[in-house]
Amino acid sequence: MALDRWIGLILLGICLAYGYAAWFTMDGNLAPFMQRNPIWPSTFPKVLSILGIIAALTILSGVEKSPPKEAEIDYRRLGDYKSGQALLLLCLMITYALCLRPIGFLTSTTLFLMLGAFILGERKWHIMVPVAVVASLVVWYLVQEILGIYMRPLPGFIGG
Domain count, the chain: 2
* 7-40: burial string, b at 16+ Cβ within 10 Å, e else: ebeebbeebeebbeebeeebeeeeeeeeeeeeee
Q: How many CB atoms lie within 10 A of CB 120?
A: 11
User: What pLDDT does 159 receive?
Assistant: 61
Tell me whether residue 155 is in a domain: no
**121 in Cβ contact with 65 (< 8 Å):** no
Tell me whether residue 97 is in a domain: yes
Domain that holds residue 95: 83-146
User: What pLDDT does 115 receive?
Assistant: 95
- Average pLDDT rounded to a whole number, residues 107-130: 93
Tell me whether residue 74 is in a domain: no
pLDDT at 88 over 90: yes
- Average pLDDT rounded to a whole number, residues 72-79: 71
pLDDT at 143 over 60: yes
Tell me whether residue 160 is in a domain: no
pLDDT at 25 over 70: yes
Note the Cα 21 to chain centre separation in Å.
22
Residues 101 and 56 in one domain: no
User: What pLDDT does 1 receive?
Assistant: 62
Tell me whether residue 56 is in a domain: yes
**Sign of torsion, CA 130 93 89 74?**
negative
